[in-house]
Each structure stands twice: as C-alpha cells, then as structure tokens.
Structure 1
Amino acid sequence: MNDKNNEQKKKGGRHPKVDPAKIRYTISLNEAEHARFLSLFEQSGMNVKAHFITSCIFDKKIQTIRIDKGTIDFYMRLTSFYSQFRSVGINYNQIVKILYSNFSEKKAALFLYKLEKQTLEMIEILKKVIQITGDFEQKHL
C-alpha cells in the first residue's frame, strides 16, 4: 500500500535540462591578467562571468557599455530645467488671470509689459540651452 502512494506522488524540483553543461575547465591568471579580465567583464555589461568567457571563446558578439557620469549629470539637469520651464508656463497663465481680476486695466497692462520682457529673456535662454544641447549631442553622443 505504501508503494502505491509513493508511485502516485510526483517528484518536486526543477525539470532536468535537455543538454546540461557538465564539462568544466579551470584557468589561472596572474594579478595583471585578472585586473584586465575584470575590466573587460565590467565593460561588457554581462552579469555572469561564465557567459562572458564562453562568448569570448566562441567569438560571440560582446557588447561594451560605457557610462559617462558627466553625460548623466547633464541629462538630469536638463530634465530638471525642462520641468521648471513647464511650471513657469503654468504660472504665467495664472499670473495673467490674477492681474486682470485684481488690478485696473492700466496697472495690469504695466505688469504684463514687465512680464513680457522677462518672457523674452527666458526665450533667449531657452534658445541657448537648445544650442548647447545640440552641440553636446554632436560631440559626445
């Protein structure tokens, strides 16, 4: 009776692989070679050293990824600037509504004139930012 219960129970665990990797090789590296190997491995962007080694042996394509901290910092600051620029546009509409609702026509027109001057300066700054961004993309990306 115990034999029937054991036969009916299914085995747990992983399904066996069709072609498992059973053969193992060992190599020895000196300090300089090991440092060079680690730098190549880091540049490849792979997560497993064994996969990196097999791709090197069998001439598979190795992808090298370089991360430039300056580029990332520039991108983050540009994104921050763009979000600030959008919030200024939202505030601009709110200011115009408040000026006309709280002040006389003459006073509102005076404040709007000052606001227009600041807006023109902001447009010039935005043009410079777009030019700098274009130059940066051509040189570094």
Structure 2
Amino acid sequence: MNGQNNKQKKTGRRPKADPAKIRYTISFNELEHSRFLELFDQSGMSVKAHFITSCIFEKTINTVKLDKGTIDFYMRLTSFHSQFRAVGVNYNQIVKLLYTHFTEKKAAALLFKLEKQTIEMVEIFRKVVQLTEEFNQKHLKN
C-alpha cells in the first residue's frame, strides 16, 4: 500500500530544460512603434518575442512583401487559365458531337468555322502570355 501512494500522476506540461525566466522591457515612441510593427509584419513571423530575439542575435529574418495588384493579377490569370481549359474540354465535346450527329461533309464545314475561331483564341492567348512575361520582367524581377 505504501508503494502505491509514492507514485504521483504526471499531469500538465513537461517542464522545459532551460526555461526563459529573464525578461526585459522596451519602450517605443509612436514613430518607433509603427516602424517596429512594419518590420514585424514584413518578417512574416507570428510571435513578436521571436522576432525581437532573432533581431538581437542576428538570425536571418525572411521578409515577404505582398503587392495587392500582383496578387489580383495572378488570381485573374488563374481564373482565365481555368476558363481556357474549360473551353478545351468543350471543344473536344463539340467535335465528338459533330461527327456523331452530322454527316462528315457538314461536320467538316462546321469544324472549319470552329477552327477559325480557335485560331483567334490562340492569338489572344499568346498576347496574354506575352503580357504576363512583360509583367514578370517589369514588376517581379527587380
């Protein structure tokens, strides 16, 4: 019975081997505080204490700048790309339907019209690719 009472239940968090007990305080004026918050936001870190520690001990800090225009451009480009893929799927379905429901001569005539429209669409897509490359060179690769 005595042996059972000596065992204690281990509950809670395990104690750290080297806990951080020493604390420092720092005071900022409004300008310094706004600069600190700007640097903290650019770092991408989620804990201010970790950011300050990495600044003091000269650890590398990753800064990520998000440009709303660039994000919007790529979101629209992604949407355009998905629409372009959907057009390709529809194109395949139309070709299959033309050959199953029409004579070969009539299907070929309709496909000729479709081919002209496809060539125009390819030219538009080439312009989009060119504009995307120009955008990358001008705005993303500084």
Q: Same fold (TM over 0.5)?
A: yes
C-alpha offsets along residues 53-109 of structure 1, whole Å, 9 cap, x if unaligned? Answer: 111111111211101111111111111111111111111111112112222333222
The TM-score normalised by the length of structure 1 is 0.91
**Which residue of 2 is the match for residue 78 of structure 1?**
77
Figure out how many residues of one structure are paired with residues of the other and give that number: 140
Moved more, 37-46 or 105-114: 105-114
**Which residue of 2 is the match for residue 55 of structure 1?**
54
* Cα distance in 2, alignment partners of residues 71 and 7 from structure 1: 65
**Please, which runs of 5 or more residues in structure 1 have no aligned partner?**
none
Moved more, 54-63 or 17-26: 54-63
* Cα distance in 2, alignment partners of residues 11 and 112 from structure 1: 76
* Cα distance in 2, alignment partners of residues 30 and 6 from structure 1: 57
The TM-score normalised by the length of structure 2 is 0.90
* Cα distance in 2, alignment partners of residues 54 and 105 from structure 1: 75
Q: CA deviation at 1:4?
A: 3.8
Q: CA deviation at 1:38?
A: 0.8
**Counterparts of residues 27-66 of structure 1 (less than 5 Å):** 27-66=26-65
Moved more, 100-109 or 19-28: 100-109
**Please, which runs of 5 or more residues in structure 2 have no aligned partner?**
none
| Aligned-CA RMSD value | 1.5
**Counterparts of residues 1-141 of structure 1 (less than 5 Å):** 1=1, 4-141=3-140
* Cα distance in 2, alignment partners of residues 35 and 129 from structure 1: 40
Stretches of 4+ aligned residues off by more than 4 angstroms: none
